[in-house]
Every structure is written in C-alpha cells, then in structure tokens.
C-alpha cells in the first residue's frame, strides 16, 4: 500500500503542488486545510484536482488548535491509513514594520506558523517511531534564514523551525524518522502576489534568478526529502530561492 502523506495548507498554492507531486511519486496525499474555509471552496478545489486526474481527500482543521489537529489526524488514520509523511506547510503572513505591528498580528503568525508544527507533529510522531519509519518536512522560508524587514513575526517562526528540527532529528533518527525543512524564496503564490506592487517589483529585482519561483520547484524538494531513500538526511534545510540567500 502507498504511504499516506498529509500536507497542511494542502489546498493553497504550495500545498496543491505538493499534493500532486507526492501522488505522482507514489504516495497517497491528504490535504488538511483551515476549518473556516467555505465548503464550496473545498469542493471546487477537489473537482479541479479530479479534472487533472488527482483524487485528494481534504480534512478540515484549525492548525492553531491542538485538539482540532488531534481530531483530524485520528479521522485520517481511521479512514485513509497511518500517517507516515507529514508536510507542515500551513503558514500565513501579517506583515508590518515592528513599530506598527499589533499583538494580534504577532499572535496570529506565531500560532499558525509555529504552534501548528507542534500540534500536527505531536499527533503523528509516536506512530512513526513505533512503525520505525517516518518523514517530517517543515516549510520554513528564506526570510527565516536572513530576516526580512516587515516580518519580525514571520521570520521568528521560520527561524524557529530550524531549532525544532535539529533537536527532534536527534531524537528520532535511530527510529527511522527524519525531520527536515525547506526554505523557499519568493514563490508565485497568492501570499507573495499580495505584496504591494511597488514592493514586489523591488523584491523581484533583488532575486538573482530575476523571477519568482514555481510551486512545483518546492514540491519536488518535498518529494526528495520524503523519499524512501532519504533516510540519511535529517536535521537539514534545503534552500530553493533562485540565489536570493546569497545576494
Ligand atoms: N529594509 C529596510 N527598510 C525598509 C525596507 C527594507 N527591506 N522596506 C521598506 N523599508 C522602509 C521604507 O524605506 C520606509 O522608510 P521611511 O518611512 O523612512 O520612508 C519604511 O520602511 C516604511 O516602508 P513602507 O512604505 O513599505 O511601509 P508600510 O507600512 O506601507 O508597509 C510592509 C510595510 C507591509 C512590511 C511592506 O514594506 C511590505 O510588504 N514589505 C515586504 C515584506 C515582505 O517581503 N514580505 C514577504 C511576504 S511573502 C512571504 O513571506 C513568503 C516567503 O516566505 C518569502
């Protein structure tokens, strides 16, 4: 049987590409997305994927809430199978220069981008260790590595992922479970396209590759890190950013 891969933020720009690439690599992808989404939006997403030849179950949860994640993962394990691959991809931005940042903008980003990693990983970790196989891939960001003005909240969560991964990787590598991250640069998703036009033009001008990345360029890295053959890579981060980090 194909291994079950859960992708949080699964119906978003990056998540959709990840689900499709995981299926193409022989996994069974399950999308987990926000329980505040309208049912019509989920149905449309599933119909669009079906038209492309992908059957992808969607489970709704609030990744900021531990019990909501527990409930969703329990349901997935009962209805689809044990979760052997977890891609913690759900994330939001609430950009503001620090002097203008509100406590609410800080909280929302910390809870969605960082608490979610604990809330989801905790549901699947014991099972992975008990079965002696697991792949956890956390999606960080170039802005976790280098910091970005206007993103002290977001950069803090993305940098936190490196510490979490390096610690957890040491705990479970002997049990066949790896914990890695990917740090995307600016990818052509709704999140990036929401940046003010003049600001985005400056961002793109600063990318050595002179273009935004494609979601598929992140998805193929997810497939690489979650492969059966990737068992000797752990606590590692792969940057996929068009050379931006080095600029
Ligand atoms: N470094 C230092 N200072 C900067 C700066 C930078 N990169 N960008 C702007 N500033 C300065 C400006 O020069 C300006 O200074 P003055 O007031 O002295 O003129 C001041 O900061 C205010 O700039 P803005 O006019 O842009 O302020 P704003 O309040 O209208 O907007 C903002 C603030 C929303 C943060 C906006 O600057 C912005 O959107 N910046 C881009 C942030 C960004 O890159 N976000 C990434 C989102 S995508 C993502 O996160 C995915 C991923 O992982 C890569």
Average pLDDT over the chain, rounded to an integer: 97
Q: What is the predicted pLDDT for the residue at 118?
A: 98
Q: What is the predicted pLDDT for the residue at 121?
A: 99
Predicted structure pTM score: 0.96
Instruction: Indicate which atom in ligand 1 lies nearest the CA of residue 186.
Output: 54
Is 3.40.50.720 the CATH number for 4-239?
A: yes
234 CA to centre of ligand 1 in angstroms: 34
**pLDDT tens digits for 177-214?**
999 999 999 999 999 999 999 999 999 999 999 999 99
**pLDDT tens digits for 147-176?**
999 999 999 999 999 999 999 999 999 999
149 CA to centre of ligand 1 in angstroms: 6
Whether 219 has a pLDDT exceeding 80, the answer reads: yes
Q: What is the predicted pLDDT for the residue at 1?
A: 81
Q: What is the predicted pLDDT for the residue at 241?
A: 97
Annotated active-site residue 186? The verdict is: no
Q: Quick one: tokens of 197?
A: 């036009």
| Residue 139, strand partner residues | 182
Domain ranges (residues) in the chain: 4-239
> How many CB atoms are closer than 10 A to CB 207?
18
CA distance 64 to 18: 21
Give the residue whose CA is nearest to atom 14 of ligand 1: 97
**pLDDT tens digits for 111-139?**
999 999 999 999 999 999 999 999 999 99
As a whole-number percent, the residues of the chain with pLDDT over 90 amount to 98
Whether 246 has a pLDDT exceeding 80, the answer reads: no
Give the residue whose CA is nearest to atom 35 of ligand 1: 150
78 CA to centre of ligand 1 in angstroms: 45
Q: What is the predicted pLDDT for the residue at 89?
A: 98
Q: What is the predicted pLDDT for the residue at 140?
A: 98
Whether 143 lines ligand 1, by a CB cut-off of 6 Å, is yes
Instruction: Indicate which atom in ligand 1 lies nearest the CA of residue 141.
Output: 53
Whether 247 has a pLDDT exceeding 60, the answer reads: no
Give the residue whose CA is nearest to atom 44 of ligand 1: 148
Q: What is the predicted pLDDT for the residue at 113?
A: 98
Whether 245 has a pLDDT exceeding 90, the answer reads: no
> How many CB atoms are closer than 10 A to CB 151?
22
Catalytic residue among 154, 186, 245, 246: 154
CA distance 219 to 33: 17
Q: For the CA atoms of 204, 205, 209, 214, what is the dihedral angle to 10 degrees?
A: 10
Give the residue whose CA is nearest to atom 25 of ligand 1: 199
CA distance 84 to 92: 25
The set of residues, in sequence order, having a beta carbon less than 8 Å from that of 52 and lying 6+ positions away, is: 20
148 CA to centre of ligand 1 in angstroms: 8
Whether 196 lines ligand 1, by a CB cut-off of 6 Å, is yes
What is the rounded average pLDDT of the residues 137-147? 97
The set of residues, in sequence order, having a beta carbon less than 8 Å from that of 119 and lying 6+ positions away, is: 63, 64, 65, 66, 68, 69
CA distance 27 to 21: 9
């Amino acid at each position: 049987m194909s291994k079950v891969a859960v992708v949080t933020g699964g119906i978003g720009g990056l998540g959709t590409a990840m689900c499709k690439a995981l299926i193409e690599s022989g996994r069974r992808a399950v999308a987990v997305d926000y329980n505040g989404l309208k049912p019509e939006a989920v149905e449309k997403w599933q119909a669009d994927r079906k038209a492309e030849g992908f059957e992808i179950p969607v489970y709704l949860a609030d990744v900021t809430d531990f019990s909501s994640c527990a409930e969703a993962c329990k349901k997935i394990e009962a209805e689809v199978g044990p979760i052997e691959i977890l891609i913690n991809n759900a994330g939001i931005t609430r950009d503001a220069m620090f002097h203008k940042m509100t406590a609410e903008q800080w909280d929302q980003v910390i809870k969605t981008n960082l608490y979610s990693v604990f809330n989801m990983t905790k549901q699947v970790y014991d099972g992975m260790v008990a079965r002696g196989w697991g792949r956890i891939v956390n999606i960080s960001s170039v802005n976790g590595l280098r910091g970005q003005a206007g993103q002290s909240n977001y950069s803090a969560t993305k940098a936190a992922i490196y510490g979490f991964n390096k610690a957890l990787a040491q705990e479970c590598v002997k049990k066949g479970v790896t914990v890695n991250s990917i740090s995307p640069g600016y990818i052509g998703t709704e999140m990036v396209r929401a940046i003010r036009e003049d600001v985005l033009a400056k961002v793109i001008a600063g990318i050595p590759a002179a273009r935004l990345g494609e979601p598929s360029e992140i998805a193929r890295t997810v497939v690489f890190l979650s492969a059966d053959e990737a068992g000797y890579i752990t606590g590692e981060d792969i940057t996929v950013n068009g050379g931006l980090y080095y600029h």
